[in-house]
Amino acid sequence: MTAATAPLASAPRLQLLTAWRALERGVDRLTGPALNPLHHLGSLGFLCFWSLAASGIYLYAVIDTSASGAHASIERLAAWPWFYGGWLRSVHRYAADALVVLMGLHALREWLHGRFAGHHGFSWLTGVPLVVFAFTCAIGGFWLNWDALGQYSALATAEWLDALPWLGAPLARNFLSADAVGDRLFSLFVFVHLGVALLMTFGLWFHIQRLPRARVVPPRPMAAALIAMFLGLAALAPITSGPAADVAQVPAALALDWLLLFLHPLAGAVSNTGAWVLVVGALSVLLLLPAWPRATPGAPVAVVDPAHCSGCRRCVDDCPYAAITMVAHPHFALGKPGHALAQVDAERCASCGICAGACPSSTPFRSLAQLVTGIDLPQLPVHRLRQQLRTGLQASGATRPIVAFACGQAPRAPALQAHDVVRIELACAGQLPPAFIEYALRDGAAGVLIQGCTPGECAFRDGPQLLRERMHGQREPHLRPSVPRQRWAQVDGADLRDALDRLRGAATTHGAPPSPSTLEVLS
């Protein structure tokens, strides 16, 4: 846990984080990391939202949204054969419940990992209003049904709003008589439910604006399982309406949805004013978290060297937080239009070094005594990585050592403390330029191991995946195909023993390392 990922690293939160990671790894053993739902909470939430949108559009088209016809039209919908879509009402409700659960788990996971300050602040602050939109939209949906539960929810909400001191006429008086509940009031209900849903659509788009390659679609098996769960629940426990609303009577028994309508029993338990204090207090805490003093200062941001930046845009494409843009290159401002220079936004930069790993000038084979790259981390430049590699290989007591590039965010693996392993720590696995693998092998390493974070736990979102694409030639800069595949391994997670044993075995069957004179010619 580093300063980049652990503001407010209090002991209770770290204890909860340890328990959460243990839970995730337990689920990993059952489903595999790629299909662990705890690694895809955000994308599963998106799927729930689009399920709500699709089913809601159909329901809005077939039901009557007038005060007198709403309840009867929904009852008719429930009586229709399944192929007319009556089951979609149940899917709509269960998707709403699932969305609330997933939003809560997603916020909890981000908080435990410390992803609410610094470069995470924008996503956190744009995510908090989504919680308000979700509950507002959900509560408004119950009103459109206009059964006893909808009547209770509308009246309880009106009384809760009446506790605000600046409101004039009490809103609850709109429910004192049947004549007061007319089509105009129902138009307000429609706006609350549908208008806020549109606001939430925009809010979700805004929420992921600073996250290139945002994961908004879960893996297909996981998406199919979630949709199947909604359909199964709709068949086994279909959602039904209560008796029609009657403002002359107080509902005696209600099938309350405790996930979506928790606010009403909360207000009944602590008073409407007390519920306001709790809700506003909770939202205030969430909104103020990014401004809370950090336990340790943030790491320095990436630095661009205009003399070595070619304007290739690879750093822009790979940055996981859209912290890099291109501007006019000052060296070519006169007479050579079109040349560009990378520029780093300090507020967005996560100090992950992924940009340095993407820069074509980060190759260690350059003959410069002081290796300077187009973009680099000042606290851990590529030149220092080359120095650590050379020094480590020379100082190693093993005849054919294995070089291990380890992500500084991943758990320390005891296997990397072996006598024949030269461990070099990175800010992120994605910081490593692929040319370092070939350079290490030519400098006498028996093999090269790269340790990244467990899938779904990368502190910088995309580090291991970006490196994997570079290593397999799917992304520039790529590892040359002539580098023997059996001489390197990329492992995500802490269990590295099998990979190290494979590299040791490959070293015994591979030829001797090139001579120092050959390396000098190549470098």
pLDDT score for 297: 60
pLDDT score for 464: 92
Between CA 138 and CA 161 the distance in angstroms is: 17
Tokens 């995470």 locate to: 120
pLDDT grade for 5, boundaries at 50, 70 and 90: very low
pLDDT tens digits, 86-120: 899 999 999 999 999 999 999 999 999 889 988 89
- Residue 484, helix vs strand vs coil: coil
pLDDT grade for 458, boundaries at 50, 70 and 90: confident
pLDDT score for 296: 56
pLDDT grade for 515, boundaries at 50, 70 and 90: very low
Select 40-291's CATH number: 1.10.10.10, 1.20.810.10, 3.40.50.720, 1.10.150.20.
1.20.810.10
Q: What is the pTM of this model?
A: 0.87
Backbone dihedral region for residue 353 (phi beyond 0: left; psi -120 to 50: alpha; all else: beta): left
pLDDT at 1 over 80: no
CATH 1.20.810.10 domain extents, the chain: 40-291
pLDDT grade for 253, boundaries at 50, 70 and 90: confident
Between CA 341 and CA 313 the distance in angstroms is: 9
Q: Are 96 and 51 in contact (CB under 8 A)?
A: no
Burial class (CB in 10 A: 0-12, 13-18, 19+), 323: buried
pLDDT at 512 over 50: no
Q: Are 353 and 428 in contact (CB under 8 A)?
A: yes
pLDDT grade for 509, boundaries at 50, 70 and 90: low
- Residue 118, helix vs strand vs coil: helix
Nearest Cα neighbor of 49 from 99, 109, 121 is 99
Report CA 449 to chain centroid distance, whole Å: 27
pLDDT tens digits, 175-217: 767 777 888 888 889 999 999 999 999 999 999 999 998 999 9
A 10 A CB-CB count for 11 gives: 7
pLDDT grade for 492, boundaries at 50, 70 and 90: confident
pLDDT grade for 521, boundaries at 50, 70 and 90: very low
* HEC profile of 386-425: HHHHHHHHHHCCCCCCEEEEEECCCCCCHHHHCCCEEEEE
pLDDT score for 472: 94
Q: Are 446 and 437 in contact (CB under 8 A)?
A: no
Between CA 452 and CA 428 the distance in angstroms is: 7
Report CA 143 to chain centroid distance, whole Å: 33
pLDDT tens digits, 11-41: 788 889 889 989 998 998 999 888 999 999 9
